[in-house]
């Protein structure tokens, strides 16, 4: 036996024992599998993919069929080469020898390439191939590796989405780790929050830090209202809202004024507790005096919202749409919408609100969790009947009645993109606090549940966005009086498995599409209609197997051109993050705020640093009162945005708010240099025209009388930011000099 084979044998033994150790530790032995090449997947005979030593494979659990790989590990094939636990088949070895001096070994699943030059004594020395050669081989290695190694998914924290997730993983032929895994997984599926598992330093997690907080009703309303101030027409899809108890005075004053102006107007409002879900604690009122402001001795944090009195009805029933939206990435922003969604029907025929029917939850609230307890709830295996139907079946029905569903769908897409643009700035602040740049951490994606109501005039209205939409594919059913059981729900399965499976397909670490290509390809010309059909973003048929085409449709960056001009607050957030200083912070301290003012040259003899300090103290104090549960002291993003609006108003008095903000942003970004903007600053410019003529509408969806010329937040009693006439006296005296 030559020296070489002795060495090889020793290495093989070492690998075997390593493999056994790995097995003992419970580490997945397929983590770095290597397999022998076939003629078709080895474009270069010197590029050989070799199988893992089977000693390291838990035999019983192995997914691969016994065959060549198994044979390779048998002692019979003693002439095979082994290198770092890999076995090269005799045929491959022949090829190698024929090539003479260079060999490249692709280690499956790692993309690693071992290259060696055969010395006359049969040993290998590392050589460096020409750069191009090496890169080409590395690419080959990646391709092969991605093709072969199943993507690993940690499902140990999946909770109620587990069933749908399991089916999805099975369909994709990926590998599930139901009890977690000591080694890193490619994807971690969390049932609730980013923090379900704190020890993830790589891979991808299906939740963003801060998403739960951001989508709570109050925060969400604030974020949308900021956008309404800047772009009232574009954000008219969100009902007028007030935050309680903070804005109780404004709310009651405005309602009183509306009623005094026109006695025939009798609006209805819906009150929603801040952290509530599934209709919990929701009630309708017709007068501010009916508000239940206290919970025991504590003021209830809630949102009171204009009630949409004329929803579109089907079979005389009110219904809403649950649309699944994937935020694939924040930077760059990538949004996908599921083509299929659910519609949830009320179980009592709808009547416009009256004092008599205000408490009829089965008439006014579409929540499944409530209506399932009504005697009228219809479980149906059909997708187009019953109390829960597919969105496509409802759209089909509307189309049959002559409704322009293409238009409805494009309005829904616009609503989703605009809502995402409203919440992304603060999400970025959370993200950098939890996963500071430069620190190891996973990347994130998240499926959100958008609840949308269609008004009688077919205008979509955003009710709320759920950070944890239910992914259950069973439903509760009363199998005997008082006895409830979970039984499979075909409608849920159809929709939710598709959404999870296709989210996984899009997040497949081996199939990330270069975003730049999407941006270049994306964006319709001005005025172009948003199509209803999803564009395909398919893998090769070979890789796709028998999977259906993707049910998720990319809408951003695809429609960048139409919507990028809305991303102003994101640019403000980029400044904010830049001045946060200490990584992991979410609040700006007074010194950092001063530094911002100084660096951007925003102070002058008319606006001294003393005024800056007063501005900081005043705004921060007020916001900390508005957010009593926030633990960190300092100025949060929303307060900073308020300060920014104020500064913009001071500096560019003659312009409208949007132009004021754009001008100040340009000024700051010019002072700070290239790092400051988000993505392409020019494309975020405010001058871009709207995709198509937007009908001028007030913020008020059903009761125009409720809309006041000044946006709501500006009318807040202490809100001095934008309109000097509204500034409290103390501030005017001190800040403006
Ligand atoms: P939750 O998180 O508790 O489900 P939602 O905001 O989704 O709270 O409201 C619950 C239900 O109340 C919705 O599904 C919808 O049927 C109804 N609803 C909510 N807001 C409005 C509104 N502004 N106008 C009319 N109906 C509404």
- Domain harbouring 447, CATH code: 3.30.470.20
Q: Note whether 440 and 582 are same-domain residues.
A: no
Q: Note whether 218 and 328 are same-domain residues.
A: yes
Q: Note whether 402 and 347 are same-domain residues.
A: yes
Average pLDDT of the residues in 223-250 = 97
Q: End of a domain among 653, 669, 685?
A: 669
Question: Within a domain: residue 419?
Answer: yes
Q: Is the CB–ligand 1 distance for residue 277 below 6 Å?
A: yes
Q: Is the CB–ligand 1 distance for residue 69 below 6 Å?
A: no
Q: End of a domain among 620, 651, 669?
A: 669
Q: 335 alpha carbon to ligand 1 midpoint, in Å?
A: 24
Q: Note whether 610 and 495 are same-domain residues.
A: no
- For the chain, state the CA radius of gyration: 30
Q: Which atom of ligand 1 lies nearest, measured to the CA of 282?
A: 3
* Segment 530-559, tens digit of pLDDT: 333 333 344 444 555 689 999 999 999 999
Q: Note whether 575 and 623 are same-domain residues.
A: yes
Q: 351 alpha carbon to ligand 1 midpoint, in Å?
A: 16
Share of the chain above pLDDT 90, in %: 58
Q: How far is 488 from 490, CA to CA, in rounded Å?
A: 6
Average pLDDT of the residues in 411-434 = 97
Task: Count structural domains, the chain.
Answer: 2
Q: Is the CB–ligand 1 distance for residue 450 below 6 Å?
A: no
Average pLDDT of the residues in 424-435 = 95
* Segment 455-492, tens digit of pLDDT: 999 999 999 999 999 999 998 777 888 888 889 999 99
pLDDT at 504 over 60: yes
pLDDT at res. 396: 96
Kind and range of the H or E run holding 528? none
Q: Note whether 330 and 427 are same-domain residues.
A: yes
Q: 369 alpha carbon to ligand 1 midpoint, in Å?
A: 12
Q: What is the CATH number of the domain that holds 629?
A: 1.10.238.10
Q: 365 alpha carbon to ligand 1 midpoint, in Å?
A: 6
Q: 624 alpha carbon to ligand 1 midpoint, in Å?
A: 28
Residue 582's domain comprises 567-669
* Segment 164-219, tens digit of pLDDT: 999 999 999 999 999 999 999 999 999 999 999 988 999 999 999 999 999 999 99
Q: How far is 486 from 474, CA to CA, in rounded Å?
A: 6
Q: Which residues neighbour 614 within 8 Å (Cβ) at sequence distance 6 or greater?
A: 731, 734, 735
Token pair belonging to 582: 């200490």
Of 495, 542, 448, 501, nearest to 187 (Cα)? 501
Q: How confident is the model at residue 703 (pLDDT cuts 50, 70, 90)?
A: low
Q: Note whether 459 and 606 are same-domain residues.
A: no
Q: Which residues neighbour 38 within 8 Å (Cβ) at sequence distance 6 or greater?
A: none
Q: Note whether 333 and 443 are same-domain residues.
A: yes
* Segment 265-321, tens digit of pLDDT: 999 999 999 989 999 999 999 999 999 988 777 888 999 999 999 999 999 999 999
Q: Note whether 332 and 476 are same-domain residues.
A: yes
Q: Is the CB–ligand 1 distance for residue 279 below 6 Å?
A: yes
Residue nearest to atom 23 of ligand 1 (CA): 307
Q: Which atom of ligand 1 lies nearest, measured to the CA of 276?
A: 3
Q: End of a domain among 669, 701, 729?
A: 669
CA distances to 72, 74, 619 from 574, rounded to whole Å, are 56, 59, 20
Of 109, 127, 122, 121, nearest to 50 (Cα)? 109
| Cα distance between the two ends of the chain | 93
Question: Within a domain: residue 1?
Answer: no
Q: Which residues neighbour 310 within 8 Å (Cβ) at sequence distance 6 or greater?
A: 352, 455, 456, 457, 702
Question: Within a domain: residue 610?
Answer: yes
Share of the chain above pLDDT 70, in %: 66
């Amino acid at each position: 036996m030559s020296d070489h084979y002795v060495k090889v044998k020793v290495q093989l033994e070492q690998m075997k024992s390593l493999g056994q150790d790995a097995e003992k530790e419970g580490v997945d032995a397929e983590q770095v599998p290597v397999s022998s090449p076939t003629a078709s997947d080895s474009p270069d005979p010197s590029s050989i993919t070799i199988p893992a030593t089977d000693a390291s494979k838990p035999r019983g659990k192995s997914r691969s069929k016994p065959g060549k790989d198994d044979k390779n590990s048998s002692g019979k094939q003693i002439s095979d080469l082994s290198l770092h636990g890999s076995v090269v088949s005799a045929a491959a070895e022949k090829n190698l020898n024929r090539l003479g001096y260079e060999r490249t070994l692709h280690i499956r699943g790692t993309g690693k390439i071992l290259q060696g030059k055969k010395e006359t004594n049969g040993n290998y020395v590392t050589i460096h191939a020409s750069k191009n050669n090496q890169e080409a081989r590395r690419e080959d290695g990646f391709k092969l590796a991605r093709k072969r190694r199943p993507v690993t998914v940690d499902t140990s924290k999946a909770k109620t989405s587990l069933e749908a997730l399991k089916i999805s993983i099975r369909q994709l032929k990926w590998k599930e780790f139901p009890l977690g895994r000591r080694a890193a997984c490619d994807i971690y599926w969390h049932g609730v929050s980013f923090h379900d598992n704190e020890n993830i330093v790589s891979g991808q997690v299906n939740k963003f830090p801060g998403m739960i907080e951001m989508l709570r009703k109050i925060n969400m309303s604030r974020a949308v209202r900021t956008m309404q101030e800047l772009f009232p027409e574009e954000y008219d899809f969100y009902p007028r809202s007030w935050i309680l108890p903070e804005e109780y005075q404004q709310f009651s004053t405005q309602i009183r004024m509306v009623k005094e102006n026109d006695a025939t107007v009798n609006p209805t409002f819906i009150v929603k507790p801040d952290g509530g879900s599934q209709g919990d604690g929701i009630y309708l009122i017709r007068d501010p005096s009916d508000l239940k402001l206290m919970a025991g001795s504590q003021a209830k944090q809630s949102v009171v919202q204009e009630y949409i009195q004329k929803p579109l009805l089907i079979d005389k029933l009110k219904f809403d749409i649950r649309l699944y939206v994937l935020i694939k990435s924040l930077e760059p922003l990538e949004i996908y919408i599921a083509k299929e969604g659910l519609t949830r029907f009320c179980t009592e025929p709808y009547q416009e609100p009256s004092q008599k029917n205000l408490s009829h939850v089965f008439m006014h609230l579409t929540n499944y969790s409530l209506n399932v307890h009504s005697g009228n709830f219809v479980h149906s295996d059909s997708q187009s009947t019953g109390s829960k139907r597919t969105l496509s079946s409802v759209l089909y029905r509307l189309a049959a009645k002559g409704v322009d569903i293409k238009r409805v769908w494009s309005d829904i897409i616009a609503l989703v993109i605009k809502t995402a643009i409203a919440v992304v700035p603060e999400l970025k602040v959370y993200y950098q606090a939890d996963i500071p740049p430069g620190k190891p951490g996973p990347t994130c994606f998240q499926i959100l549940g958008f609840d949308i109501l269609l008004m009688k005039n077919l205008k979509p209205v955003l009710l709320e966005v759920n950070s944890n939409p239910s992914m259950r594919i069973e439903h509760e059913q009363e199998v005997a009086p008082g006895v409830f059981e979970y039984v499979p729900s075909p409608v849920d399965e159809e929709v939710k498995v598709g959404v999870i499976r296709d989210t996984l397909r899009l997040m497949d670490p081996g199939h990330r599409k270069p975003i730049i290509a999407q941006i270049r390809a994306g964006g319709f010309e001005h005025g172009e209609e948003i199509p209803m059909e999803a564009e395909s973003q398919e893998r090769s048929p070979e890789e796709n197997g028998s999977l259906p085409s993707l049910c998720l449709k990319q809408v951003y960056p695809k429609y960048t051109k139409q919507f990028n001009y809305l991303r102003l607050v994101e640019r403000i957030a980029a400044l904010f993050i830049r001045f946060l200083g200490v990584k992991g912070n979410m609040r700006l301290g007074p010194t950092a705020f001063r530094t911002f003012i100084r660096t951007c040259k925003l102070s002058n003899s008319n606006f001294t640093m003393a005024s800056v300090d007063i501005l900081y103290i005043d705004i921060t104090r007020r916001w900390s009162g508005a957010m009593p549960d926030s633990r960190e002291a300092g100025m949060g993003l929303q307060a900073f945005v308020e300060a920014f609006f104020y500064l913009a108003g001071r500096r560019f008095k003659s312009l409208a708010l949007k132009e004021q903000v754009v001008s100040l942003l340009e000024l700051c970004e010019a002072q700070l240099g290239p790092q400051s903007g988000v993505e392409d600053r020019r494309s975020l410019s405010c001058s871009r025209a709207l995709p198509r003529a937007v009908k001028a509408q007030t913020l008020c969806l059903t009761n125009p009388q409720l809309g006041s010329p000044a946006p709501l937040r500006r009318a807040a009693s202490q809100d001095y930011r934008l309109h000097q006439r509204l500034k409290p006296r103390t501030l005017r005296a001190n800040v403006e000099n």
